[in-house]
Chains A and B, each alone.
Chain A
Amino acid sequence: MSVAAILSFEEAMEKYDPVLGFEVHVELNTKTKMFSSAPNVFGDEPNTNVNEVDLGMPGVLPVVNKAAVESSIKIGLALNCKIAESCRFARKNYFYPDTPKNFQTSQYDEPIAYDGYLDIELEDGTVFRVEIERAHMEEDAGKLTHMGGATGRIQGADYSLVDYNRAGVPLVEIVTKPIEGAGSRAPELAKAYVAAIREIVKNLGVSDARMERGNVRCDANVSLRPHGRERFGIRSETKNVNSLRAVEHAVRYEIQRHAAVLDSGEPVIQETRHWHEDTRTTTSGREKSDADDYRYFPEPDLVPVNASREWVEELRATLPEPPAARRKRLQADWGYSDLEFRDVVNAGVMDSIEETIAAGASASVARKWWMGEIVGRAKTADVEPSELGVAPATIVELNQLVEDGKINNKMASQVLDGVLAGEGTPAEIVEKRGLAVVSDDGPLLEAIDAALAAQPDVAEKIRGGKVQAIGAIVGGVMKATRGQADAGRVRELILEKLGVEG
């Protein structure tokens, strides 16, 4: 594994124009597999979520999962694609032990969705349109684990273990057209594109969209050409770049590597590359040429998938609001500044704030609680804010307690800790912890008398009209009540007692 020479990104950008392309595989979260009734569940004991179809036993036949077709159509619609009225599956023939039939059943020249686009918003608000060539249905392969070798690859391994639980899991592969004109923003666009796909499929509810589980997997194609040239350069395909950060880094690295190769006068080799998160580099996989012969032919065991226009329109009507449009609407509704809203989005609490507002809080109160109190606690606990266990209704209740003067902000924070510790509802915690602001005037009047008696000179000043001196008496009362008194009420009572207008 030799380390390739690379150029600095800036120098690469001065000399060359990058062209990108992405193949994003999305695992659908259907109950069963693409062509069998076996469960589609992640993380179970190896080779338990399989039946004779997934194992490629003699005599078995595939049956298309209707829910998977529905999900695929939804993805196609969300990507502004046309939906084929009729389309077929094909067989992609190759011998490899992760594929039980030694062919993969996949759509080939008849994708269910084609000719779409997705508008990608970069961080500074620039919108970049990515053209979608196609989104097609296929089945996932099993998972191979190569044992005994140094690299974890099949080369040099002593033996390999295969888990067919993933074999036959429904996939939608989304393929872009070549993306030109991104220039130095190519790495940023790459990350934003994959993030947008992930967000869309999650929003549609068709995928769990967890990249760390391989629910969304990205193959990134990069090529460079000198500025001003129309013809594309030779591309590399970096496989299985499986985090947003890695997508950005891999594209950036490949641009730098291609630039160095081109500078040296050598041709870029058309090949697949492997991404290494530890070194943030890629290494050569296998050479890939367009002559790879998979002997595709129409899958004779399946009939064409027909998507009637009525069905497509029914599905279109069920689509949720697109994430980008939703963000725009929410920001306008809530009146947040661009900066405030971006912070909310980046903190991952937009949905929670929406739910909290729906539960009765104002937009500013919801933001104050989530950004001010919960995000920090979530960070400490190393979980997503929404997973911390704070229900929107809890926030509304807490805020009501403050507004009613039953507790102050400092106490509210303690009550929240109590809620998270499972001590009960806010009201119960106020009760149990004895946190209530003292609102019975009796004890207050006693404390006020004591405070006035302790500072007779201050009392005299107030009587004489120096109302601003009242702070010393209020402070004495608050101290005596261990902060549980309502300072406003204390002030009223003192003025009343001394017969002074406030």
Chain B
Amino acid sequence: MSELDNSGLIRLSAAQLAAKLAAREVTSVEVTQAYLDRIAEVDGQVNAFLHVNGEEALAVAAEVDAIRAAGGAEAEALHELAGVPIAVKDLIVTIGQPTTAGSKILEGWHSPYDATVIKKLRAAKMPILGKTNLDEFAMGSSTEHSAYGPTRNPWDLDRIPGGSGGGSAAAVAAFEAPLALGTDTGGSIRQPGAVTGTVGMKPTYGAVSRYGAIAMASSLDQIGPVSRTVLDSALLQEVIGGHDPFDSTSLTDSFDNLVAAAKTGNVEGVKIGIIKELHGEGYQAGVENRFNESLELLKEAGAEIVEVSCPNFKYALGAYYLIMPSEVSSNLAKFDGVRYGLRVLPKDGPMTIERVMAATRAAGFGDEVKRRIILGTYALSAGYYDAYYGSAQKVRTLIQRDFDAAFAQADVLISPTAPTTAFKLGEKLDDPLAMYLNDVATIPANMAGVPGLSLPGGLADEDGLPVGIQLLAPAREDARLYRVGAVLESLLEAKWGGPLLDRAPSLQAALDSSSTTAGGSN
């Protein structure tokens, strides 16, 4: 796979593209058009995009090119990523494009306002390529719960790209975009990153404004970057991060040291803690092998490896499935057909407001969304609140304490991102509990509000599919993840002789072959 698909441009990292744009070796219109061509070429197979925003993206690209061509102060003032295109998870509202949240209930809805992160992308003049697929309202680990059909994993089109942000991860993995935005409530950025061989970062809770991200579970949701390199995620987080007066939970910290951290280049003396409870039993052998390999590389590079125990993590999944649905049941109450979106009238019987709301929600929401609304409504009910929501909040406190204790022993914690590689489409669709278990390693970070980064750790021996390595740091210490992540990434790439995605099958080849196979040999 030494030859670049479609155009050499689309395989460049965002940082490389930015450098070429600044040097005026390429124009943003050329880059943006190359990605739009790639989308046109392969997205029929991948289904990463729900909406392609070509016209607006090219207009922004042309504007950046004109500014660069004119030179002077305005060109000097351009953001480093100006002209570098990006895809946006369709949970984030945008003026000028539909926002569906992957649900029928919002089909055709156009937001009258831009999310704060979108305003920041526009201010940086990054062309927005379109909106990416997701599990309905971000509820799922496979993107199969999208009302608009599943997204497929570019490594194997019969397999899931992870979820809920499978669209963003697959778009980046399939070279349909150099960067994307995701949202992570229990692993929706990191787990798709792991199974598609891409980088995904869930920043510290509050590091990026949530204003304009359609809420799933407010106390857990966080917008973050999706990319092909650790440095690219750092670059993007610096664009979208920072305090927002429209989000009361956003932090006032500046988080402007991320790119520098990604360029540090060493991990000597950094204490890295293996979380005892997040590997071993229940983890696929090939995942475990790649994980151990990463530990060896870090050790050789001078990091100190220690083992830490987080005994309450075993309650995290259970507590998560009480807190998250509770917030879901309230956050999704607004979708009732009264003010916007789908409105379904009852087929017969009296036309009352309650019955219109009920008919709309019955028709507009998919099964997984309904399942979580019912779970949450139950968990918050009088008489059950203390036993369910109340106990879950106590578990949350215990998880935070486990993290505190672990970070007293280690600067950064490490685990596999997901217990397995990408499973087959449909494999777990009828077994919600098996689906939920995919997030067992990613959920603790959301429960405690700490940042988590997933980066490609290689391919599993048994199936040749990507494995993700997760790094976790204390709240507000996002920079540590970029520092350690970038070093581990470079050690792994040196071992492989290039980026992992170079080993992904050509999607063109997949088209030619009747059965799709995982590509690349170790």
Q: Which residues of A contact B (CB under 8 A)?
A: 52, 55-64, 91, 93, 95, 97, 100-103, 154, 160, 291, 293, 295-297, 300-303
Contact in complex: B248, A59 (CB < 8 Å): no
Chain A residues lying within 8 Å of B93, measured Cβ to Cβ, are 57-59
CA distance A64 to B245 in the complex (A): 10
With A58-B111, A93-B380 as contacts: A101 and B248 at CB distance below 8 Å:
no
Residue of A nearest to B335 (CB): A58
CA distance A91 to B215 in the complex (A): 15
CA distance A61 to B211 in the complex (A): 6
Partner of B214, one of A59, A91, A100: A59
Contact in complex: A95, B326 (CB < 8 Å): no
Contact in complex: A297, B389 (CB < 8 Å): yes
Q: How far is the CB of B242 from chain A (nearest CB, A)?
A: 16
| Residue B92 at the chain A interface, CB threshold 8 Å | yes
Q: What 6 A-B pairs are tightest by C-beta distance, nearest first?
A: A102-B333, A300-B218, A295-B380, A300-B219, A59-B212, A58-B214
Contact in complex: A303, B115 (CB < 8 Å): no
With A58-B334, A95-B354 as contacts: A293 and B381 at CB distance below 8 Å:
yes
| Residue B329 at the chain A interface, CB threshold 8 Å | yes
Q: How far is the CB of B51 from chain A (nearest CB, A)?
A: 16
**Mind listing 5 A-B residue pairs with CB under 8 Å?**
A56-B339, A102-B333, A160-B353, A293-B382, A297-B326
Contact in complex: A303, B214 (CB < 8 Å): no
CA distance A304 to B182 in the complex (A): 28
Chain B residues lying within 8 Å of A100, measured Cβ to Cβ, are 334, 339
Q: Is the interface of A mostly helix, strand, loop or mixed?
A: loop
Q: How far is the CB of B407 from chain A (nearest CB, A)?
A: 23
Other than the known A58-B101, A63-B246, A302-B248, what 13 A-B pairs have Cβ atoms closer than 8 Å? A52-B112, A58-B214, A59-B111, A59-B212, A61-B247, A97-B336, A97-B338, A97-B353, A103-B330, A293-B382, A295-B380, A295-B381, A296-B380
Contact in complex: B334, A59 (CB < 8 Å): no
Partner of B213, one of A56, A59, A102: A59
Contact in complex: B219, A61 (CB < 8 Å): no
| Residue B288 at the chain A interface, CB threshold 8 Å | no
Contact in complex: A91, B92 (CB < 8 Å): no
Chain A residues lying within 8 Å of B357, measured Cβ to Cβ, are 95
Contact in complex: B211, A59 (CB < 8 Å): yes
With A58-B101, A93-B380, A100-B339 as contacts: A301 and B248 at CB distance below 8 Å:
yes
Chain B residues lying within 8 Å of A61, measured Cβ to Cβ, are 210-211, 215, 246-249
CA distance A102 to B336 in the complex (A): 9
Q: Is the interface of B mostly helix, strand, loop or mixed?
A: loop
Q: How far is the CB of A302 from chain B (nearest CB, A)?
A: 5
CA distance A103 to B327 in the complex (A): 12
| Residue B106 at the chain A interface, CB threshold 8 Å | yes
Q: Mark B314-345, 1 if CB is under 8 A from A, else 0.
A: 00000000000011011001111011100000
| Residue B496 at the chain A interface, CB threshold 8 Å | no
Contact in complex: B333, A101 (CB < 8 Å): yes
Chain B residues lying within 8 Å of A58, measured Cβ to Cβ, are 93, 99, 101, 106, 109, 111, 214, 334-335, 340
Residue of A nearest to B382 (CB): A293
Partner of B111, one of A56, A57, A91, A300: A57
With A59-B93, A301-B218 as contacts: A295 and B336 at CB distance below 8 Å:
no
Residue of A nearest to B106 (CB): A58
Chain A residues lying within 8 Å of B101, measured Cβ to Cβ, are 58
Q: How far is the CB of A163 from chain B (nearest CB, A)?
A: 13
With A297-B389, A301-B218 as contacts: A57 and B112 at CB distance below 8 Å:
yes
Contact in complex: B340, A57 (CB < 8 Å): yes
Q: How far is the CB of B319 from chain A (nearest CB, A)?
A: 14
| Residue B436 at the chain A interface, CB threshold 8 Å | no
| Residue B377 at the chain A interface, CB threshold 8 Å | yes
Chain B residues lying within 8 Å of A103, measured Cβ to Cβ, are 330, 333
Chain A residues lying within 8 Å of B326, measured Cβ to Cβ, are 297
| Residue B385 at the chain A interface, CB threshold 8 Å | yes
| Residue B113 at the chain A interface, CB threshold 8 Å | yes
Residue of A nearest to B326 (CB): A297
Within 8 A of A (CB), among B236-268: 245-249
Q: How far is the CB of A59 from chain B (nearest CB, A)?
A: 4
CA distance A297 to B330 in the complex (A): 9
Chain B residues lying within 8 Å of A293, measured Cβ to Cβ, are 381-382
Chain A residues lying within 8 Å of B92, measured Cβ to Cβ, are 59
Chain A residues lying within 8 Å of B210, measured Cβ to Cβ, are 61
Contact in complex: B330, A91 (CB < 8 Å): yes
With A295-B377, A297-B380, A302-B248 as contacts: A95 and B112 at CB distance below 8 Å:
no
Chain B residues lying within 8 Å of A52, measured Cβ to Cβ, are 111-113
Q: How far is the CB of B218 from chain A (nearest CB, A)?
A: 4
Chain A residues lying within 8 Å of B213, measured Cβ to Cβ, are 59
CA distance A63 to B250 in the complex (A): 11
Chain A residues lying within 8 Å of B330, measured Cβ to Cβ, are 91, 93, 103, 295, 297
CA distance A56 to B332 in the complex (A): 11
Residue of A nearest to B221 (CB): A300
Residue of A nearest to B115 (CB): A59
Contact in complex: B334, A56 (CB < 8 Å): yes
Within 8 A of A (CB), among B375-403: 377, 380-382, 385, 389
Q: How far is the CB of B490 from chain A (nearest CB, A)?
A: 37
Contact in complex: B111, A63 (CB < 8 Å): no
Q: How far is the CB of A297 from chain B (nearest CB, A)?
A: 6
Q: Mark B103-124, 1 if CB is under 8 A from A, else 0.
A: 0001001011101000000000
Chain B residues lying within 8 Å of A300, measured Cβ to Cβ, are 217-219, 327
